[in-house]
Amino acid sequence: MKIKIIVFIFFCTSLHINSQTNSEIAGVYIKRAEQSFQKSEIENSLKIFNKALKYIDTISDSRIARLGMLLHYETKEYFLARSYSYDYFKLVKDKTTADYDLMLEIFVNIMEEIDEFKIEQKRLETERKIEEAEQRRVDSLKRVWSSNSEKFIINIDSLSKFNGNNIAVYKKGDAYGLIDDLGNIAEEATNYKHVISYDNFILLLRDKEKPTKIYCYNSNTKKGFVLPSVETFNSKSTHYGKVMLPRGNGDLVTYPNNSKKVFVYNLVSKEFKADKDQIVLLKELKKNDIIDKYNKEGQVKINKAWYYLGGKIGAGIYALYKGENRLHGFLNTSNGNVLSQEYYNHLGAFYNGNFELIENDKTFWMNDEGIRQEVNRDESGKYHGLSRFLKLREGEYQIIQNIDGQDYIVLGNEKLINQKAFIAKEPR
């Protein structure tokens, strides 16, 4: 029993000593904080003051409350300053001093600052609600605009440049089609795997090699058609062979397989180009010493070799065949020169003073005298329209046009103003 009493007395004494020690430590820190405050070292004073608070359970001294009020007033922490001011006015004994009047003046300032803060917070809250409402309105309009803009998406993989008649070639998958600058499809990309374009004519070929079907689009007239089957030209042929560039006069030359004649077709009149009566032609060539002989099969003898006269290319130039699928070269009927197929692999139609010439898989140009040229002017022309094709992502495009200073998405006869202007014109 005696031991228990001793332990109890020791415990109470320890609590008293510890409490007294905390109070004294806090007092030291408060004194230091006051000294720093008097030197206008506000930040350091507040730091020391907060250390003192670690040793204080409750504020029971107006001196501590006063310092807390002043420090938080100086640091513009007005709600904390107000809390300390309540403690100060509750604990202060003498309310007749000049210091009390000063603290009262500061308290009024604190309350005014808090009132202004509340007013500002209310204004900010109102502003926030207005901004949130506006953002909801804008987000809603963006969703509406985005939904509308989806209707203007064109599903294609790639696009060529537009020509002067506002027509371009597009690709979808492995097929080619035709489209105008408003997004109207002139020919769907479904059947044709290769394209040849020149002088405002666009040819879509079922296959790049050995094409069996050719679609022609005349961008001048905005009309297209499928060329006659190659079998109608030659029953033994199964494909058009080498297809040359279409020319501005509408003439197209191809070199079908299993044939001793070139395929020469006019894309405007939609007719095969007729050769001069063969007997009359052969007699003229013999008379003018262009050929040595000819026979009833239509063969001509030149320099001791027999050839088939394989059709007129243009400007007096005829194809020469040794037999089916055996193009030998070309005969210039004006001077008798033979252009060897070894160097003059293929000739295209004659127009505007020249032929297309293929030499070692490269394209050149040649005039009617056999002089080679490096370049020629494509009459397809340059695009001068308003449309810009914008790639949204893989396989998706939209057409943009600037109309009266505003960008629009267009498709056919429909148009949608840009998102920013769309939102701006909607009433708030």
Band (6; pLDDT cuts 50, 70, 90): very low
> Region 318-340: what's the mean pLDDT?
93
Report the distance separating Cα 266 and Cα 250, nearest Å: 5
> What are the pLDDT digits (tens) for 264-278?
999 999 999 877 788
Sign, CA dihedral 311-312-316-318, equals negative
Q: Band of the pLDDT at 408, cuts 50, 70, 90?
A: very high
Structure tokens at 87: 């403690």
pLDDT at 4: 42
Share of the chain above pLDDT 70, in %: 95
Nearest 5°: the CA angle 267, 268, 269 is: 100
pLDDT score recorded for residue 140: 96
Q: What is the pLDDT of residues 287-312, one digit of tens each?
A: 999 999 999 888 999 999 999 999 99
For 302, the enclosing helix (H) or strand (E) is strand 299-302
pLDDT score recorded for residue 274: 79
Pairing state of beta strands 326-332 and 317-323? Answer: antiparallel
> Can you tell me the mean pLDDT for 66-92?
97
pLDDT-derived band at 386, boundaries 50, 70, 90: very high
Across the range 331-358, mean pLDDT stands at 95
At residue 14, the pLDDT reads 41
**Cβ(67)–Cβ(100) below 8 Å:** no
Residue 190 CB burial class (10 angstroms; 0-12, 13-18, ≥19): exposed
CB 29 within 8 A of CB 62: no
pLDDT score, position 411: 98
Return the closest-CA partner of residue 219 out of 177, 253, 168. 168
**Inter-axis angle of helices 2-38 and 42-53, nearest 10:** 170
Tokens of 362: 């490269």
Q: What is the pLDDT of residues 120-168, one digit of tens each?
A: 999 999 999 999 999 999 999 999 999 999 999 999 999 999 999 999 9
